[in-house]
Structure 1
Amino acid sequence: MGLGLLLSIIIGGLAGWIASMIMKADTGLITNIVLGIVGALVLNVLLQLIGIYAAERIVPQLVVGILGACLLIFGFRAIARRS
């Protein structure tokens, strides 16, 4: 089933905003939404590879989105430092 498009955008924005606060990243609204949604997608795929499935509910997906967005911010910073 899933969360739906509108709820995914809202959860993604919230997850990206929280991750930007945790990682002390200066990002805007659109970037927060993208970070949260892409972070959740990436981390869900990684978790599924090791046999862990996050429930398709708001709180588990928010946690996965926050962790995934933090992972993306960390990765971007690591790549930017090399350049």
Structure 2
Amino acid sequence: MGLGIIGWIVIGIIAGWLAEKVMGRNHGLLTNLIVGVVGALLGGWIAGNLLGIPVGGFNIVTLLVAFGGAVLLLFLLGLVKRRA
């Protein structure tokens, strides 16, 4: 069973907030949501296509993958920001 829009929002907010804390950033709720959802897409793509880990549903694996993707996204954005 896949996540509905509410599930994606909840996972996105949690993953974005956790990534924000780990990376030492200070964003608002909307930015955390965006980072978390984009991070979930990035992490899901990496987990599914490169690592062969199936991800789906509302569970801890999905949250961990979204969190990892969000941290990676913030890291990459930080690299781009430093070069600009």
TM-score (norm: length of structure 1): 0.91
- Corresponding residue of 1:23: 23
Q: State how many pairs are aligned.
A: 83
Structure 2: which 5+ runs fail to align?
Answer: none
For residues 15 and 2 of structure 1, what CA distance do their matches in structure 2 show?
A: 17
For residues 81 and 8 of structure 1, what CA distance do their matches in structure 2 show?
A: 30
Alignment of 1:7-18 (within 5 A): 7-18=7-18
**Aligned-residue CA RMSD (Å):** 1.1
- Corresponding residue of 1:66: 67
Alignment of 1:13-52 (within 5 A): 13-50=13-50, 51-52=52-53
1:60 Cα deviation (Å)?
Answer: 1.1
Structure 1: which 5+ runs fail to align?
Answer: none
TM-score (norm: length of structure 2): 0.90
Identity among equivalent positions (%) equals 39
1:7 Cα deviation (Å)?
Answer: 1.4
